[in-house]
């Protein structure tokens, strides 16, 4: 494998790939030789992602909360790249409001994008990760996965849920043998990383999520 091409031949899906963290992840994967399915909402300039790099890219414009989103997104990887090795659930939204002013609509949308979409897309991905002998699911969290804010009740709840879902996915047999799952929780002052790794034993899984905090 040529130096600097650590992901040569791997297939990755990155949601929220039109800007910010998602765009950076998708383009870094391409630089390392991965084949990438980049996902974001229509009209978000997704065509600007992956204009450089040596890997192949397929762009999918879809709302991750759409009923057919899991099948469409996973299907793009399988159809165009013959499988899936990595899923990066990065799409997310935030909204600030005093708790008593938080509407049902805002709450439901935040949970749908930040939590339910991760659950549905990850569930659809697992059989394909297993078919390749294992893989990785990476869920983008937040410092709000470990703390709270006065106007971020809904967002903080959703990111706490991301951390819990991440640990739960991999500790649920037989998924413990299907994928290694990480939730990255960045902040300026601290980096909190919650990692749930698959048990490699043949017996029932007794492993536990590992959590570390580094300042």
Helix/strand/coil percentages in the chain, nearest 5: 40, 20, 40
Closest C-alpha among 4, 2, 28, 21 to residue 12? 28
Closest C-alpha among 73, 39, 74, 35 to residue 53? 35
Average pLDDT over residues 150-175: 84
1-5, 26-30, 149-153, 162-166, range with the lowest pLDDT: 1-5
Query: What is the pLDDT, as a whole number, of residue 13?
Result: 98
- Which tops the pLDDT comparison, 7 or 186? 7
Would you say how long the chain is, in residues?
A: 215
CA distance 14 to 89: 6
Where residue 79 falls among pLDDT bands split at 50, 70, 90? Answer: very high
Where residue 171 falls among pLDDT bands split at 50, 70, 90? Answer: confident
Q: Which tens digit of pLDDT belongs to each residue from 103-128?
A: 999 999 999 999 999 999 999 999 99
Please check the confidence at residue 204 and state whether its pLDDT lies above 60. Answer: no
* Lookup: tokens for 101: 């002013």
Average pLDDT over residues 139-154: 83
Query: What is the pLDDT, as a whole number, of residue 173?
Result: 58
Residue with token string 């043998």: 177
Q: How many CB atoms are located within 10 Å of the residue 63 CB?
A: 16
Contacts of 56 (CB under 8 A, 6+ apart): 30, 35, 36, 81
Q: Which tens digit of pLDDT belongs to each residue from 29-74?
A: 999 999 999 999 999 999 999 987 667 999 999 999 999 999 999 9
Query: What is the pLDDT, as a whole number, of residue 106?
Result: 96
- Dihedral, CA atoms, 70, 71, 76, 79, nearest 10 degrees? 150
- Dihedral, CA atoms, 87, 89, 91, 96, nearest 10 degrees? -170
- Which tops the pLDDT comparison, 53 or 166? 166
**How is residue 168 annotated by DSSP?**
H
Q: Are 22 and 16 a contacting pair, CB within 8 Å?
A: yes
Domains and CATH numbers, the chain: 11-214 (3.40.50.720)
Known catalytic residue at 155 = yes
pTM of the prediction? 0.81
Q: Give me the catalytic one of 155, 156, 160, 162.
A: 155
* E strands present in 62-169: 86-89, 136-140
């Amino acid at each position: 494998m040529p130096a600097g091409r650590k992901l040569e031949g791997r297939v990755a899906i990155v949601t929220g790939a039109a800007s910010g963290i998602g765009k950076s992840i998708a383009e870094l994967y391409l630089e390392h030789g991965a084949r990438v399915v980049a996902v974001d909402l229509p009209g978000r300039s997704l065509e600007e992602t992956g204009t450089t790099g040596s890997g192949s890219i397929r762009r999918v414009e879809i709302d991750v909360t759409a009923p057919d989103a899991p099948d469409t997104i996973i299907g793009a990887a399988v159809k165009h790249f013959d499988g899936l090795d990595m899923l990066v659930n990065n799409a997310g939204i935030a909204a600030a409001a005093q708790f008593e002013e938080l509407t049902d609509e805002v709450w439901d949308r935040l949970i749908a994008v930040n939590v339910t979409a991760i659950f549905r897309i990850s569930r659809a991905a697992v059989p394909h990760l297993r078919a390749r002998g294992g893989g990785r699911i990476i869920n983008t969290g937040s410092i709000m996965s470990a703390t709270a804010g006065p106007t971020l009740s809904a967002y903080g709840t959703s990111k706490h849920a991301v951390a819990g879902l991440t640990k739960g996915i991999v500790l649920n047999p037989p998924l413990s043998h299907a994928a290694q799952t990480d939730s990255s929780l960045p902040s300026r002052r601290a980096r909190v990383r919650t990692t749930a790794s698959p048990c490699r034993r043949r017996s029932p899984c007794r492993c536990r999520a590992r959590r570390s905090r580094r300042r």
